[in-house]
Amino acid sequence: MAVGYNWAGNTIIRDTVIWGKRAVIGYQNIYIPTDIRAWLLSQNSEVIKRSLEEIGLPSAKGPGTFDLRAWRIWDHVARSVEYMPDKKSCGMEDFWLFPEETIMLRKGDCEDSSFLLATLLLASGISQHCVRVVLGRVISPEGPFGHAWVVYMNEEGVWCILESTLDAAPARLVPADPFSRPGNNYQYEPRFCLNDAHLWSMSHDRTPIADYLKARGQMPEKKMAEKFQKAYSI
């Protein structure tokens, strides 16, 4: 039985402040409450603009050029950011980097690379209506794990999944719906999505996002992540 999600989001969540994802520098146990949308507000950053210049995007705006733009940005992030769990990279359980930090470090976990990918898409001129970062989990043969990924509405109006933890993007954009169907080797289960303007719930569960993030778990160590990457197919 197919499961269909509204990848644009269902219900707007008004409380967008989360805890425990940013610590005061030098104090790992003192956290800064942060609006989750802040991770997608760097479109005008000079660091982001320079990163876009390195990618080499089409300057024309004819049919197909926005999909090409999205694919090139996706491939660039997949190739340039090494997947690394927070525990290994910074010694903390779940620390979210801002896009500029991920660019400079060239490493990060699924949230870090997803926030960077979405920010670059928005900065390239793609409408905020066509970009979401999704927070949820993946059901895998090894068990469920918390995950984040990007979805993009292509020029035909189809939401496509852009998995930022891959080593390289597939040859084409692929629809998101097939990855959410039961029976998939790695089944995506979205719970929340956001862009730079809003945070939405994607389920009927009214658990606050801060509580959900504490309970959902994290993407496993790199060995498991590499297995996940190999299983990602179209």
- Give domain limits for the chain: 18-231
pLDDT tens-digit map of 152-181: 999 999 999 999 999 999 999 999 999 998
d(CA 128, CA 193): 12
What pLDDT score does 183 carry?
81
What pLDDT score does 198 carry?
98
What pLDDT score does 1 carry?
38
Q: 190 or 89: which carries more pLDDT confidence?
A: 190
Q: What pTM was estimated for this model as a whole?
A: 0.92
Three-state SS string across the chain, please? CCCCCCCCCCEECCCCEECCCCECCCCCCCECCEEHHHHHCCCCCHHHHHHHHHHCCCCCCCCCHHHHHHHHHHHHHHHHCEECCHHHHCCCCCCCCCHHHHHHHCEECHHHHHHHHHHHHHHCCCCHHHEEEEEEEEEECCEEEEEEEEEEECCCCCEEEECCCCCCCCCCCCECHHHHCCCCCCEEEEEEEECCCCEEECCCCCCCHHHHHHHCCCCCCHHHHHHHHHHCCC
Band of residue 220 on the pLDDT scale cut at 50, 70, 90: low
Write down the CATH number for the domain with range 18-231: 3.10.620
Question: Mean per-residue pLDDT for 80-102?
Answer: 80
